[in-house]
Structure 1
């Protein structure tokens, strides 16, 4: 192998990639163990001990036994974070009950549609608009 430096570089990069991938998977499993609400304290301690003392067997056993629920917990956490983010945006934009601006815009659009369709006259439109904006 000493005659092929590019091959040595390839093998070094491959092993480095696999090593980083292994640590990512190990930390993902450990965080999932502690994030899981359906495991008791003893269950968490047992899985943690198995993953730390026998890492390859422990991670493989955890992925086989709890891999599906691991994905479900990830999706639930992402949905919760998205909901909290949307609530924050609504609160920051003031579209909750403190600010009636969006409702006024909808009402004005509805009034304009009624005026354009001939259901109300120009005078009725102006009166309703003045009442709405007052």
Structure 2
């Protein structure tokens, strides 16, 4: 009975399992920690002192700080994440619309230039149409 049995080291596969499990838990912990830090700075309703207090709390007592943060403010974390994703999507859509509009303007200018070179438009009509397009 004096011999202690360490199963993880008697069976190399079990030792590998425990190593992989601890690495996985460490990565999950880091992801959660960074998500909480990002959420603290993303929240515009929280004032600077409250943000500083949460950061200090999580730096001094990381596991307890993150656990309490997720319990107290976890529900709003999802809402802020969704809101941020929607803002990014709207910005992307606005960029696409702006870029597509600019491409259409170039096509219209090329068409106007072609009409002017054929003689279908006078120089004055071309300038008015060009000014209208560019404004």
Q: TM-score, normalised by structure 2?
A: 0.69
User: What is the aligned length?
Assistant: 101
Question: Is 1:77 equivalent to 2:84 in the alignment?
Answer: yes
Equivalent residues in 2 for 1:22-41 (5 A)? Answer: 22-41=29-48
Mark the runs of 5 or more structure 1 residues left unpaired by the alignment: 102-134
Aligned residue in 1 for 2:75: 68
Question: In 2 relative to 1, CA 3–70 (structure 1 residues): closer, same or farther, beyond 3 Å?
Answer: same
CA RMSD of superposed structures (Å):
2.0
Mark the runs of 5 or more structure 2 residues left unpaired by the alignment: 1-6, 109-135
Q: Shift of residue 97 of structure 1?
A: 8.6
Separation of aligned partners in 2, 1:99 and 1:48? 51
Separation of aligned partners in 1, 2:104 and 2:61? 55
- Residue 94 of structure 1 aligns to a residue whose secondary structure is helix
Of the three residues 94, 98, 104, the one matched with 1:91 is 98
User: Following superposition, which runs of at least 4 residues in structure 1 exceed 6 angstroms of deviation?
Assistant: none
